[in-house]
Amino acid sequence: MAEWQYAQGDPAEELAMLHIFSMKKRQPGGEVTFRITVREFASAPTGHRQRFFAEADKSVNQKTAAIVPCGWGDSVLAALSDCLRMIRQFPYEGEDLD
């Protein structure tokens, strides 16, 4: 267990270390940059078995059924990969293309 995890006084606090990543998605209308935050929880949140949760800063598939790419995993890599898979799978249909 990492030293910072001992600072959590109560699991309900959901203390987490943040890991920040970015990626550019290239598509016909241009490029869009996504920022992905992976939360490494000191202990798995209530109702979850895994300690790592990744979430993008914007939704995809906005014109059909908007969804915010996210993913859970047992490591930073697993959660990040799950989130990236969703970004790649669905088109970005927003207006802020780079």
Confidence grade of residue 97 (pLDDT, cut at 50, 70, 90): low
Does the residue 60 lie in any domain? yes
Domain span at residue 62 reads 3-89
Whole-number Cα distances in Å, 44 to 5, 78, 83: 12, 15, 18
Full-model pTM:
0.89
- The pLDDT score that the predictor gives to residue 65 is 93
Does the residue 46 lie in any domain? yes
Does the residue 13 lie in any domain? yes
- The pLDDT score that the predictor gives to residue 29 is 83
Q: Which amino acid is at 67?
A: I
Does the residue 22 lie in any domain? yes
Does the residue 45 lie in any domain? yes
Tell me how many domains the chain contains.
Answer: 1
Does the residue 80 lie in any domain? yes
Contact call for residues 36 and 73 (beta carbons, < 8 A): no
